[in-house]
Amino acid sequence: MKLELIFIPSPGDGHLRPLVELAKLLVDGDGRLSITVVIIPSMQGIGTESSSSYISSLSTASTDHLRYNVLTMADISNSVDSKPDFESYLESYKPVVKATVAKVTDPSRPDSRRLAGFVVDMLYTTMIDVANEFGVPSYLFFPSNATFLGLQLHVQYLYDVKKYDVSELKDSKGTKLEVPSLTRSLPVKCFPSLMLSKERLRIVSQIRRFRETKGILINTFTELEPQAMKFFSSGDHSLPTVYTVGPVLNLKINSPKSGEDKQLDILKWLDKQPRKSIVFLCFGSMGGFREEQAKEIAIALERSGHRFVWSLRRAQPQGTMRPPGEFTNLDEVLPEGFLERTAEIGKIIGWAPQSAILANPAIGGFVSYCGWNSTLESLWFGVPIATWPLYAEQQFNAFEMVEELGLAVEIRNSFRPETELMTADEIERGIRCLMEHDCDVRHKVKEMSAKSHVALMDGGSSHTALIKFRQDVTKNIHKS
């Protein structure tokens, strides 16, 4: 029997790319399965240049077993307010998604397949309703880590069962919360800020829907997060089946093209540098800094004496959703003479081909914002991290990597870029600790890197989980 899965990702870089890679893994391993990825555009209608070009490339990359259907704003132009909220925006796409799925699975088509279910992004749980209309199971794709999923489920449990709202902890100093997916108490300062804000009620409502699915696909591997996996195997029958299928990475997409001269020059320069001698600073597709912060980083780099590659971009004004811009004149931003003094040992770039740089043997450490995809990349290539979280769940990720797992060193595990300034002294200390060649963290990262590769091999934990997911998809469609 030939089966069809519908994937509905969030268009954000950290959500869309791993879900596409997961789709490739699934169809490559089973000729009876095909997948249609239905891409809803960003609500703001904006994105990074790399994400826009990536989505455009998918439009022409369809195969017999893996198709991409990129929706547009025009598809809902007559049915949405000029300034909709997130829920209303997604609601307006439900009829479009339903029509798209009906067309793909039309039994009169010669290539028709039986609809087996929906895989929806953690932010798009409202699309579970469309799966229900078709009478098929839904599954959740969780692009972050298992420990964070455990935190979310625990927060929802506290709110619904214990009648306790964690936002009450917002203004308490030094308070910690016991979380079943952690062995250590979680400081409130490392909580994702949205979970302590007025947005928490929407988030709790979203988390409730996680429990409606037949399974949750997590971009992690069992060996990385033992306490979280212990929590998920605890026998709580209200939890869906958890499949650890990571690390699901797109390691080719960031390689520079022939016209991107500066990126190519930096990769060539890296090839000439001593092994493990370079500290790489990169802060993701939405990570930018004010001029004052850029100067503190520059001072720290120069004082540390280490060679460096620094992805530096300008933060947008507070409250805007656009990706960071470029500094037009670095001489006006950085300390006087910095560029001349560091010309032989350092390179500054705007957008960086992150995976290509991390893969280079010259990279000895990664000052990172702790996005989960970046964290998995650094582990894959065996590069230790110094934590500098900026937004979303990155503070939690930083805490997990440093305190829970011992796989990173800390610059800070809690940081609010809009109101705080990281000093040169703090940054320098973090860089020096990161670049120590005999530190325990470096040895642990090397061991975990090997485990991440084994997880995806035949018989590895993630490879086995993928096989189980395919089997369960077939089993669940017979039950529905």
Domains and CATH numbers, the chain: 3-143+213-246+457-479 (3.40.50.2000), 261-453 (3.40.50.2000)
Q: Would the pLDDT of 300 be above 80? A: yes
Q: How confident is residue 253, by pLDDT bands cut at 50, 70 and 90?
A: very low
Residue 117 DSSP label = E
Q: What integer is the mean pLDDT of 208-213?
A: 96
pLDDT of residue 316: 81
Band of pLDDT at residue 296, cut at 50, 70 and 90: very high
Q: Which of 89-98, 177-186, 235-244, 340-349 has the lowest mean pLDDT?
A: 235-244
CB 338 within 8 A of CB 356: no
What pLDDT digit, counting tens, does each position of 266-295 carry?
Answer: 999 999 999 999 999 999 888 899 999 999
User: Could you count the other beta carbons within 10 Å of the beta carbon of residue 78?
Assistant: 7
Query: Does position 201 have pLDDT exceeding 50, yes or no?
Result: yes
What is the per-residue pLDDT for 49? 64
Q: Name the residue type at position 71.
A: L
Burial of 242-267, coded b for 16+ CB within 10 Å and e otherwise, reads bbbbbbbbbbebbebeeeeeebbebb
Task: Note the pLDDT of residue 351.
Answer: 87
State the Cα–Cα distance between residues 420 and 422, nearest whole angstrom.
7
Name the percent of the chain lying above pLDDT 90: 70
Cis peptide before 247 (omega within 30 of 0): yes
Which has more pLDDT, 169 or 360? 360
Average pLDDT over residues 329-338: 94
The helix-helix angle for 146-160 and 200-210 (nearest 10°) equals 110
Residue 253 sits at φ, ψ, to 5 deg, of: -65, -25
Q: Mean of the pLDDT values across residues 437-448?
A: 94
With beta carbons less than 8 A apart as the criterion, state whether 427 and 297 touch: yes
- CB neighbours of residue 475 within 10 Å: 12
Joined tokens for residue 456: 């995806």
Instruction: Please tell me what DSSP assigns to residue 402.
Output: I
Average pLDDT over residues 287-306: 96
The pLDDT of residue 303 is above 70: yes
Q: Model-level pTM?
A: 0.94
Instruction: Specify the higher pLDDT residue, 128 or 194.
Output: 128
What confidence tens digit (pLDDT) does each residue in 86-116 have? 888 899 999 999 999 999 888 888 777 899 9
128: Cβ–Cβ under 8 A, 6 or more apart, which residues?
A: 118, 120, 138, 209, 212, 213
Find where tokens 């017999």 sit: 64
346-349 vs 363-368, strand pairing mode:
unpaired
User: DSSP alpha helices (H): ranges in 193-337?
Assistant: 200-210, 226-232, 261-271, 291-304, 330-333
